[in-house]
Structure 1
Amino acid sequence: MSGALDAAGITEPRLRESYLRCRRLNAQHGRTYYLATRLLTKPQRPAVHALYGFARFADDIVDSAPPGSDPVHRLEALSAALLTGLDTGHSDDPILAAVVDTASRYGIRRDLFTAFLDSMRMDLTITGYPDRAALDRYVHGSAEVIGLQMLPVLGTAGEPDEAAPYAAALGKAFQLTNFLRDVAEDLDRGRVYLPEDELAAFGVDRELLTWCRHTGRTDPKVRAALAAQHATTRAIYTYARAGIDRLHPVSRPCITTALVLYSEILDRIEAAGFAVFAHRARVGHGRRARLAVSGLVRAMWARRGRRAAGLTAAATERWA
């Protein structure tokens, strides 16, 4: 990581330690994301670690609060500290220092962070979503804005506004994949991240999902409902994939690898007959390694030609 920090021009010891903390959070909680990040150029990696590390840190406050702690208070304190840091351009917090520095370096909009924190607050009080519109409001803050935060770091081959809808869609596809894979885990936390009206169309309610969780079996009605959710998510991946060519060429191997790895979780879920209550779908180490090697080869070729015509001036200057 020190080489990446050096390449990114991050020299101040306190700030370097903050980036290292975020990197550890990313490596610990997001193996697929972390693997794909290795395909980016060294100057890009610290910023990605900062953004994902912060997201995981906030998520842990909501989902993994130790006994006796107050997640509401901790989340509000984090929110206040982050917004102060974004407004002043500086933070002494061991996690937020890197996030604030990344936001400043790449001009990441403040509202993308406030939207994320709003969705984290929803997790403290909301346990279900009556329809797709309600779920989409949550997913915008919990996932789409992550893709939009990443976009300035990744760079684009044209106007950023043209790539933004695809970046948001990919974040959404990742999140919806998590919802399918983690139905059982989420039920244990008292939450269901599947639209109630769409489940009801197949005769499925929370009670039936809970029965599946307790028995480890997937009721036929639940299987049909999950298959419909699976198809919806697959269509979003198809849309998001069309936006990869709008990214800076050096970033495309990373995002392609992440997209393929995560979409293959959907393949595993389908191949297992939607048995999400019996086991957690995973992409094997061997498959991840093969994709990583393929992505690395493509990344090396892209870096050789990174000054190709059509790149944005800002991106060319940043990675020159």
Structure 2
Amino acid sequence: MMGAAAELDAAGITEAALRRDYAHSRALHARHGRTYYLATRVLPAGRRPAVHALYGFARWVDDMVDEPEAGQTAEHTAALLDGVERDLEAALSGGRAQAPPVRALADTARRYAIPAEYFTAFMRSMRLDLTVTGYADYAELSDYTYGSAAVIGLQVLPVLGTVVPRSEAEPHAAALGTAFQLTNFLRDLAEDLDRGRVYLPADVLAHHGVDRELLLRCRRTRLQDTRVRRALAEVAAFNRAVYREAEPGCAMLSAVARPCVETALRLYRGILDEIEQAEYDVWSRRHRVARSHRARTAVPALGRALMARAFGT
């Protein structure tokens, strides 16, 4: 596999300090986003650093919120986010940022003309995690997922390139980011409860007789409850509908980028398959796509990507 230096060469990133910033983001992406990272390997080398910068920044900020140091208060985390926003604003305005993930992100934003408002929306959703512990319905949840997930799809779209006007592909890119996030919400329900949060609509849960106390009992005992299973099945059905909304966007991408997104979609939807096959037991284990299935999905995609590159599409 091509290393970080070769990818940076292919992207035309030559300045030594900036190359270190991108390498830092690449490491963040590889460590925290294994499914996304594997899919990125299918992209042409010159486009990979930008995707690493976007996902690396997102993981870095998300970890500030979700993995605070021992004894760190919400006020302290809010102050850290304040610092990130000041750094980001300076960098996007042409100044020098302090943090490597911000410097790589700002360079990518300039290279691909990614609107600053996408990053503002992302930071707003990260702040919601400091105070909001639940969502009444899908409308409330979609306000959060727009910033936490949909804008990630919108950020990546200029890097991938399209064969249609970008505005035509944008709703599908946003939907795919949301679909990935909804799968995360199902898979990580137990872990999110440990952080005091529930990312499933309260009205859907209540319709099946589920409240936070019942979820906490399932978490504590690692045993499924019929009511919870029915509620999660309803959310999973909604999640599948969002994947269907996203899927037509794959054909709208440039041919060299299409296999990457198709791989990510299949792998992430595979996590949802695993959850369903386990009858929505998200308590006794964390669901992930088997390594053998990842290989079976990624290898054909790599072949399609190489063909697309060979024919210059």
TM-score > 0.5, shorter chain as reference: yes
User: Normalising TM by the smaller chain, what interval?
Assistant: over 0.9
| Worse overlay, 80-89 or 15-24 | 80-89
After superposition, the C-alpha distances for 1:38-65 in whole angstroms (9 at most, x for unaligned) are: 0000110000000000000000100111
The counterpart of 2:241, out of the listed 218, 235, 243, is 235
After superposition, residues 216-227 of structure 1 pair within 5 angstroms as 216-227=222-233
The counterpart of 2:26, out of the listed 18, 23, 28, is 23
In the TM superposition, what is the alpha-carbon distance from 1:304 to its structure 2 partner? 1.8
Between the aligned partners of 1:170 and 1:218, the Cα distance in structure 2 is 29
The counterpart of 2:155, out of the listed 143, 149, 156, is 149
> Are the equivalent residues in 2 in contact too, given 1:18–1:95 (CA < 8 A)?
yes
Determine the structure 2 residue equivalent to 1:116: 122
The counterpart of 2:45, out of the listed 37, 42, 45, is 42
> Are the equivalent residues in 2 in contact too, given 1:157–1:247 (CA < 8 A)?
yes
Between the aligned partners of 1:261 and 1:200, the Cα distance in structure 2 is 31
Letter in 1 for 2:91: G
CA RMSD between the two structures: 0.9
| Worse overlay, 101-110 or 81-90 | 81-90
After superposition, the C-alpha distances for 1:109-147 in whole angstroms (9 at most, x for unaligned) are: 000000000000000110000111110000000000000
Instruction: Establish whether residue 252 from structure 1 lines up as the match of residue 255 from structure 2.
Output: no
Instruction: Establish whether residue 174 from structure 1 lines up as the match of residue 180 from structure 2.
Output: yes
Extract structure 1 runs of 4+ deviating beyond 6 A: none
Between the aligned partners of 1:79 and 1:115, the Cα distance in structure 2 is 11
Between the aligned partners of 1:158 and 1:219, the Cα distance in structure 2 is 46
How many residue pairs align between the two structures? Answer: 307
Determine the structure 1 residue equivalent to 2:14: 11
After superposition, the C-alpha distances for 1:244-300 in whole angstroms (9 at most, x for unaligned) are: 100111000000000000001011000001110111111111111121111110100
Instruction: Establish whether residue 51 from structure 1 lines up as the match of residue 54 from structure 2.
Output: yes
Between the aligned partners of 2:232 and 2:136, the Cα distance in structure 1 is 16
Between the aligned partners of 2:182 and 2:234, the Cα distance in structure 1 is 12
Instruction: Establish whether residue 286 from structure 1 lines up as the match of residue 289 from structure 2.
Output: no
Between the aligned partners of 1:106 and 1:128, the Cα distance in structure 2 is 35
Which ranges in structure 1 are unaligned for 5 or more consecutive residues? Answer: 308-320
In the TM superposition, what is the alpha-carbon distance from 1:198 to its structure 2 partner? 1.0
In the TM superposition, what is the alpha-carbon distance from 1:87 to its structure 2 partner? 1.5
Instruction: Establish whether residue 213 from structure 1 lines up as the match of residue 219 from structure 2.
Output: yes
Between the aligned partners of 1:305 and 1:213, the Cα distance in structure 2 is 52
The counterpart of 1:61, out of the listed 60, 64, 76, is 64
Letter in 1 for 2:39: A
Instruction: Establish whether residue 267 from structure 1 lines up as the match of residue 270 from structure 2.
Output: no
SS at 1:39 equivalent = coil
| Worse overlay, 56-65 or 89-98 | 89-98
Letter in 2 for 1:84: A
In the TM superposition, what is the alpha-carbon distance from 1:92 to its structure 2 partner? 4.3
Between the aligned partners of 1:141 and 1:90, the Cα distance in structure 2 is 25
In the TM superposition, what is the alpha-carbon distance from 1:306 to its structure 2 partner? 2.9
> Are the equivalent residues in 2 in contact too, given 1:82–1:100 (CA < 8 A)?
yes
In the TM superposition, what is the alpha-carbon distance from 1:88 to its structure 2 partner? 1.8
Letter in 1 for 2:268: Y
Letter in 2 for 1:62: V
Between the aligned partners of 1:300 and 1:20, the Cα distance in structure 2 is 24
The counterpart of 2:204, out of the listed 198, 218, 239, is 198
Letter in 1 for 2:40: T
SS at 1:157 equivalent = coil
Letter in 2 for 1:303: R
In the TM superposition, what is the alpha-carbon distance from 1:68 to its structure 2 partner? 3.8
SS at 1:88 equivalent = coil
Letter in 2 for 1:187: L
Letter in 2 for 1:173: A
Determine the structure 2 residue equivalent to 1:304: 310
Which ranges in structure 2 are unaligned for 5 or more consecutive residues? Answer: none
> Are the equivalent residues in 1 in contact too, given 2:87–2:98 (CA < 8 A)?
no
Between the aligned partners of 1:174 and 1:285, the Cα distance in structure 2 is 19
In the TM superposition, what is the alpha-carbon distance from 1:89 to its structure 2 partner? 5.5
In the TM superposition, what is the alpha-carbon distance from 1:67 to its structure 2 partner? 1.9
Between the aligned partners of 1:247 and 1:221, the Cα distance in structure 2 is 41
> Are the equivalent residues in 2 in contact too, given 1:59–1:120 (CA < 8 A)?
yes
| Worse overlay, 86-95 or 297-306 | 86-95
What TM-score does the superposition give when structure 2 sets the normalisation length?
A: 0.97
> Are the equivalent residues in 2 in contact too, given 1:198–1:225 (CA < 8 A)?
yes
